[in-house]
Structure formats: C-alpha cells, structure tokens
Structure 1
Amino acid sequence: MTSRLWLITGLILLAVNLRAAITGTSPLLGQVQQALALSGTQVGVLATLPVLCLGAFAWLAPRLARRLGTRAAVCAAAWVLALGAAVRALPWPAALFAGTVLSGAGIAVGNVLLPAIIKDFFARQIGLFTGLTMTVMALSGALAAAVAVPLAAGTGWQCALALWAVPAVLAAAVWGLPAASAADGGHRGARPPAPPARGAAHGSLLRHPLAWWVSAFLGLVSLMFYSLVAWLPQIMRASGYPPAQAGLMMSVMLTIGVPLGFLVPLAAARMRGQRLLVVAVTAAKLLSLTGLLLVPALGWAWVCLLGAATGSAFPLAMTLLGLRADGPRVAAELSGMAQTVGYLLAGLGPLALGVLHDMSGGWRVPLVVLIALVVPEAAAGLLAARPGQIRPGRRGGDPARRTASAGALV
C-alpha cells in the first residue's frame, strides 16, 4: 500500500473516532444513571463533559503537532481515546468520569488536527476530503446512537461503552506504522518541518477578526448540535412520542446529515464566498425549531429538516477552517483556536438547556432559547463566509488572495 493510501486510511479511521464515542453514550445515560446510582446533576455533568473536554484540550493539539509531528500527535490522541473508552466502562462513577475526560481529550486533539492534515496533504482537494471525513463522522455517529441500546441490552452498558476503544486502537496502529510515517514527511519524516510562520502562532490569531467569526460560527453550530444530541429524545418524548421512537428520531436526524456531510464541503470549496450556504442552513434551523415548538404533531417532518440543517452546518464550519487558513500551520492554529473557543461555548449548551428545563418545568423555554441562538449563528456565519484568508503577519483576512482557484479545490 502506498504512503498516500496509508494516509487516507488513517484519515478515515481518525474520522470514525471523532463522534461515535459521544453519540453512543447519550442513549445509555438512563441505564448508567440507574446502575451507578448517579444524581440528576451528575448525569447533566456527564452529558456536558465530553463537549467541554473538546474545548479544554483543543489548544494542546497544535503544540503537540509542532513538538511530536502530526503523525505522532494523532497516534497519541488515538491511544488516549482508546484508554478512555476502556476506563469509563469500569463499574465505578469515578472511572466513568475519568474515562470520559480521557476520551474527550483524545477526540479534541484529533478534531483540531483533522483540518490541518487535509490542508497539508490535500490542499487542492479540501472539499473532497473534508466531505469524506464529515461523511464518515456522520455515519459513525448515527451508527453509534442506533446500536447503543440494543448492544447494551445484549452485552450490558459497559461493553456498549468499551466497544469504541476498538476503532481507536486501529487508528493508533495505522498512524503508528512506518508507512504512515513516510506519508507524514511534511512534519517529522522525509523533509524537516518548516519554521513557524511569523504571526501564525495561536495567540496572534486573537488579533484577527476573521478568526473570531470562524470560531463563533463553529461554536454556535456545535452548541446547537450537542444540545440536540443530548436532549432531542427527551424533547420528543415530552411531545408525546414513545421512547423507542424518540430515540429513533435522533438517529434519523444524524443519518440525514451523512450525504450532506459530503456534498456541503464540495459545494463550499467551489464558491468564492459561502454566504448562500449559511443563509440556507440557518433558515432551515429556524423553521424546524419553530415547528417543534409550535406544531409538535409534525415532529417527524421537523426532525428531518433539522437533520438537514445540523448535518450541513458542522461540515460547513469545518470546511471554513481550511478555506480561511493560509497554509497547514495556520490551519492547525485556527482549528485549535476555533475549537477551543467553540467547544467551550458549545459545552454550555446541554447543561444550560437541562437547567432551563428544570426551572421552567418543560421544553418550551429551552426551545425558545435555541431559536434565539440561530440569529447570532447566522450573523457569525455570514461574516466567516466572506471571501478571504488569514495570512501570517496580517491583521484580519486577505480578500485578495486564495491558495488555489475555486475549481482546483475539489
């Protein structure tokens, strides 16, 4: 197998691990709570902890890549994720929370390095490979949500949680092989790493307005997605749908995003600016969330539309990380900043919605809050989608320069 095929294989295995360990946990929270005698507050923290970890550990990824090389950093992240998946299956509350933190840390590093890998090795095919990885993430996330309860019924909740150590070990093995090392020649392999570009350090991006708009868009998109992953089944149950059907609705919402995860990055990479995509995505969110609030009897229609909206928004935000960065180093730094800011913001979503539910005694107020958040998401997205790039040594984006013509990016 050539080094390029090893790289593609590693990229796919990395993508498999970036969502399944999270979406495969939500349907099991009730069983875990009963088995370990967890309080409602502890369950709320457990639902929020993975997303908070994505933000808390994202800043480490660019530093690990500079110190160890991208391949070694991804390999280490996969091993940490595998360890976390195994530890959280132990029948003790402390192990559950410790394993969740480890899994979140591994996913955080992989999340940040994914756009940088694509920018470095597939710079002229950003749309294609972003779409491929988003599709794999959506498929693995939907599969994990769908099989969690049946798997737990047959083997127990511990095995259902520990299962996701297997693809993490496979990813670690591929990224640790010599063939993968040869593919990573741009970092610690055939050619030495280039010196850091002036102005490309993580801290310097704080002076770039475009970096902040990309970060805010990713954060609000993620807040909406993880809030719905955590609470959509409960929202639909409160609207009169039986538990099995409510769980199926979340799986359907995730599944609808599978083809869009491939198509949206392709479309975005062909455009000079991506504002039309932002308008379409946020309009679909506004309509579907309003429908859930006012006409819950049409729940299946709103869930399908919501799946199209959320399934398009995250791939669009991830594509912008590559399109707005001037080179792989800036892509890693921008990805680290955006995911630190974005996921810390997103981590507030599930917990805040749970608190609002308890305070209001229902899901109407949380839904109204989600509807209101579509407005700043649209504003940040429109500003992030303007043509331009973050270039070393410049404040803000450079609208005059792109790394390649639009047609060469796919």
Structure 2
Amino acid sequence: MTARSRGSLAAALAVYVVALALRPAQTAVGPVLGDIGADLGLGEGALGLLGALPLLGFAAVSPLVHRLSRRWGAEGTLLAALAGLVIGVVVRSWTGAPGLWLGTAVIGATVAIGNVLVPVIVKRDLPDRIAVATGAYSAVIAGAAAIGAAVAVPLAEIGTWRLSLGVWAAPFAVIVVVWWLRTRVAHDPAATVAEAHLAHASTWRSGTAWLVTAFMGLQATSFYVLVTWLPTIEASLGVSAHTAGIHLFVYQIVGIGGGLLIPFAMRPSSQVGAAVTATVPLGIGMAGLLAAPGAPLVWITIAGVGSGASLVMSLSLMSLRGRTSAETTQLSGMAQSVGYLLAAAGPVVAGVLAQSTGSWTPTLVLLLAFAAGQLAVGVAVGVDRRTGAAGSAATASENAEGPS
C-alpha cells in the first residue's frame, strides 16, 4: 500500500468515526420522551418541540459553517464541534430542565457543523471515491442512529432517562480524541483559507445550488414525515403498534442497503440515472400504500430503499457540484439549512393535514407529490449545467482527480 493510499484510508476511517457521533444523541431521545415528560412535567407540545429542536438547530447553524471553516479550517471547526457535542450531552442530561433545552440546542448546533463539513472533507480527501465514500459514511450514520434508538429504553430501565442520554458523552469524548489526532496530520488550514477567496459568488444566487437544495429538502422532508407518522398511518390501516414499530425499523435498516448501492448507479459525467433510481422507489412505496394498503411491509421496504439512496444522492451532489472546498462548504450549508427547515416543518404539516381531513390519505398523496417533485429536480440537477453537454468528457476526465 502506497503512502497516498494509506493517507486516503486514514482519512476515510476518521470520517467514519465522526459519523458515529452525528445521530445517536438525537435518535436516543424519542424512545424516552415519555420518561422525560413525566419527570419534568412537560406536555406533548413541549416534548414535540424538544424533538424538533435539533432540526431547527441544523437549519439555523448550517449557513454559518463556511465562515467558521474559513477562520479555523475544516478540521479545527469540526474538532470544536465534537467537543461542544460532548458538553451538550452532559448539560442536557444532568443540569435540570433549563439544561435540557440548552443542551439540546447545543447538540443541534454542533451536529449541524458535522453534517456540513463531512461532505467537504470527503471531497477534499477522497475526490475519486466521493459517491462510494458518501454511501459508506451514510451507512455508518444510519447504523449509529439505529443503535442510539435501540439502547435508549434498556439504558433508561437500568438507570433513568438521564443515564440513557448522558452515557453518549463517553464514546463521543473518545471520538474527540481520535479527530484531534487526525488534525495533527490534516491539510494546512491556511490552504483552505486561501482557497476560500476563489469563491466570490454566493451559492444563494446559484441555480445549481437551489436544485441541490431542493433535492435535499424533498428527501429529508419525506424521511422525517415517515419516521414521525408511519406507525400512526399503519395504525389507521389496522396494523398493531408492535408490528408498526418493526416496520419502521425495517424502513430505516433497508435504507442502509439503498445508500450503499446507489453509488454504483452514478456516472462521472451524469448522475441523472442515479437520481431517478433513488427517487422512483419512494413514489412506488407511497403509491402502493394508497392503492394496496393490505401489504404495507412491501411498500415500506421499497420506500426505505429509496430513502437511503436519496440521502446518499443528496450528500454526493453537495460534493460533486462544489468546485472548491470553500464552495462545497457553502453549498452544503445552504442545502442542509433549507432542507432541515423543511424537514422540521414536514411532520407538523402532515399532522395538521391528517387532523383537518380525518384521514392519512392526503398525507400519502402529499408524499407522492414530494417524490414526483424530487424526480423532476433529480433529472435537472443530475448533469452539471455549468460545464454544459460539450464539457461532459472533460468533467469525466477531471473526476479521476476530483469533481470540479
């Protein structure tokens, strides 16, 4: 193995270690919300807001990450965020009711930084393996998220909800040390700062950036609507709560497979086929639940594959459509800010729609419309319009060294 190969492997492993920290602190909350409410006297409205607070943090902080990255570099900014995540977990669990809200807000803000910067680091350190590396990274995120949710109740039964949520500070502290060691051999932050001056135009005025943002927002909104309401939707179809819980687990687990497989559908000069492949299963799943609700597991499994593939597709587009690390940071921040803002609003809108109509059918129709919109956006963003059709060959050649 060459020195360059060893460096790429070290970079990949470090990114995957960081990925372990980006979801458990959030997914561990849902299973113990009832315990938190009973202990602190919080009603359903307050608990709902507590669950949405990290997503709102993602939306608020993501656009600011590129400024932090310019000042401290990607590695330094991510190191500070990981350290802040440990503090947030401790504060949320062990400092009473005010700390619950403050710690949750800190967790949302620090995880947002990781969400934005990981695609940037993948583009910089693994330029010829962006899609595959993103798929593996997303699989690690999904696996860690599932573990966080799975162990929450057993840990709470051993102690309390405070132990269940606070125990994550220990492995996160280890991840801080691992990433600190990574910063000692990372790229020179000065190079990142110098490169930042090359990106003069704001991504908020870029049509391509808005297409990437739309793809991110549509897939994230569909995912969070289903994660929030799928058991309730199935209950309306006569599915037991136990079975619906298993179906929700299946929906998330098969997404790992979808995320790992979709990179093989991506091509250097075009990602249109991959965008279609990722999106169509979402539409099939929603159409199936509407037309043949007697086989919910079939449709949920198909939709889950599409959700996992769509997440990897959206993260890959952030890396592929950013021409420099600085531009990728801005694009990632923009796409995740708007995307998670929509994702936070999606479950609320779906719930209001169901309550006002007395049926979950309109929500499923809405999700089917989201899939149709995502398909249209995916076709539009699948080719980098800045190079044009004539530049496809050049883009393919450049992709051997890194997407431009």
Relative to 1, partners in 2 of residues 1:406 and 1:194: Cα closer, same or farther, differing over 3 Å? Answer: closer
Deviation at 1:403, TM superposition (A): 7.3
- The one-letter code matched in structure 2 to 1:214 is V
Deviation at 1:136, TM superposition (A): 0.7
Partners of 1:258 and 1:386 in 2: how far apart? 25
Deviation at 1:349, TM superposition (A): 1.0
Partners of 1:112 and 1:389 in 2: how far apart? 23
- The residue that corresponds to 1:27 in the other structure is 31
- The residue that corresponds to 1:292 in the other structure is 289
Partners of 1:5 and 1:409 in 2: how far apart? 16
Native 8 Å contact 2:225 2:350 kept in 1? yes
Per-residue Cα deviation, 1:33-67 (whole angstroms, up to 9, x for no partner): 33333222222222322212111110121111111
- The residue that corresponds to 2:227 in the other structure is 229
Deviation at 1:266, TM superposition (A): 4.3
Partners of 1:267 and 1:366 in 2: how far apart? 30
- The one-letter code matched in structure 2 to 1:221 is Q
Partners of 2:192 and 2:59 in 1: how far apart? 30
- The residue that corresponds to 2:395 in the other structure is 402
Native 8 Å contact 2:92 2:100 kept in 1? yes
Relative to 1, partners in 2 of residues 1:295 and 1:195: Cα closer, same or farther, differing over 3 Å? Answer: closer
Partners of 2:229 and 2:399 in 1: how far apart? 39
1:141 to 142, 145, 155: 145
Relative to 1, partners in 2 of residues 1:35 and 1:63: Cα closer, same or farther, differing over 3 Å? Answer: same
Per-residue Cα deviation, 1:85-105 (whole angstroms, up to 9, x for no partner): 222224744332222211111
* Secondary structure of 1:123's aligned partner: coil
Native 8 Å contact 1:53 1:108 kept in 2? yes
Partners of 1:283 and 1:5 in 2: how far apart? 33
Native 8 Å contact 1:80 1:106 kept in 2? yes
Q: Does 1:239 align with 2:237?
A: yes
Native 8 Å contact 1:7 1:183 kept in 2? no
- The residue that corresponds to 1:184 in the other structure is 186
Deviation at 1:6, TM superposition (A): 4.7
Partners of 2:309 and 2:67 in 1: how far apart? 30
Deviation at 1:368, TM superposition (A): 2.4
Deviation at 1:194, TM superposition (A): 2.4
Partners of 1:21 and 1:168 in 2: how far apart? 10
Runs (5+) with no aligned partner, structure 1: 392-396
| Mapping for residues 116-127 of structure 1, pairs under 5 Å | 116-127=120-131
Q: Does 1:381 align with 2:353?
A: no
Per-residue Cα deviation, 1:380-399 (whole angstroms, up to 9, x for no partner): 222111234589xxxxx976
Per-residue Cα deviation, 1:135-178 (whole angstroms, up to 9, x for no partner): 1112112222333333333333222222333332222212223x
Report the number of matched residues.
398
Deviation at 1:361, TM superposition (A): 3.9
- The residue that corresponds to 1:394 in the other structure is none
1:213 to 185, 207, 211: 211
Native 8 Å contact 1:70 1:184 kept in 2? no
Partners of 1:10 and 1:261 in 2: how far apart? 20
Q: Mean Cα displacement is larger for which, 311-320 or 249-258?
A: 249-258
- The residue that corresponds to 1:277 in the other structure is 274
Q: Mean Cα displacement is larger for which, 345-354 or 83-92?
A: 83-92
Give the root-mean-square deviation of aligned CA atoms.
Answer: 2.8
- The residue that corresponds to 1:12 in the other structure is 16
Partners of 2:79 and 2:126 in 1: how far apart? 20
Q: Mean Cα displacement is larger for which, 61-70 or 162-171?
A: 162-171
Deviation at 1:369, TM superposition (A): 2.0
Partners of 1:34 and 1:210 in 2: how far apart? 47
Deviation at 1:408, TM superposition (A): 6.3
Native 8 Å contact 2:73 2:192 kept in 1? no
- The one-letter code matched in structure 2 to 1:335 is S
1:267 to 240, 265, 268: 265
- The residue that corresponds to 1:352 in the other structure is 349
Deviation at 1:353, TM superposition (A): 2.0
Q: Does 1:100 align with 2:104?
A: yes
Native 8 Å contact 1:47 1:350 kept in 2? no
Native 8 Å contact 2:92 2:103 kept in 1? yes
Deviation at 1:129, TM superposition (A): 1.6
Partners of 1:148 and 1:264 in 2: how far apart? 31
Q: Mean Cα displacement is larger for which, 341-350 or 292-301?
A: 292-301
Relative to 1, partners in 2 of residues 1:404 and 1:233: Cα closer, same or farther, differing over 3 Å? Answer: farther
| Mapping for residues 23-172 of structure 1, pairs under 5 Å | 23-90=27-94, 92-172=96-176
Partners of 1:131 and 1:35 in 2: how far apart? 39
Partners of 1:364 and 1:267 in 2: how far apart? 32
* Secondary structure of 1:14's aligned partner: helix
Per-residue Cα deviation, 1:261-299 (whole angstroms, up to 9, x for no partner): 22223432x342122222233221112123224433312
Deviation at 1:254, TM superposition (A): 1.2
Partners of 2:105 and 2:22 in 1: how far apart? 14
Partners of 1:20 and 1:280 in 2: how far apart? 29
- The residue that corresponds to 1:249 in the other structure is 247
TM-score, with structure 2 as normaliser: 0.89
Q: % of aligned pairs identical? A: 33
* Secondary structure of 1:365's aligned partner: helix
| Mapping for residues 283-362 of structure 1, pairs under 5 Å | 283-362=280-359
Native 8 Å contact 2:269 2:392 kept in 1? no
Partners of 1:387 and 1:87 in 2: how far apart? 44
Per-residue Cα deviation, 1:357-408 (whole angstroms, up to 9, x for no partner): 33334433322222222222222222111234589xxxxx976753745566
Deviation at 1:110, TM superposition (A): 0.3
Relative to 1, partners in 2 of residues 1:40 and 1:76: Cα closer, same or farther, differing over 3 Å? Answer: same
Runs (5+) with no aligned partner, structure 2: none
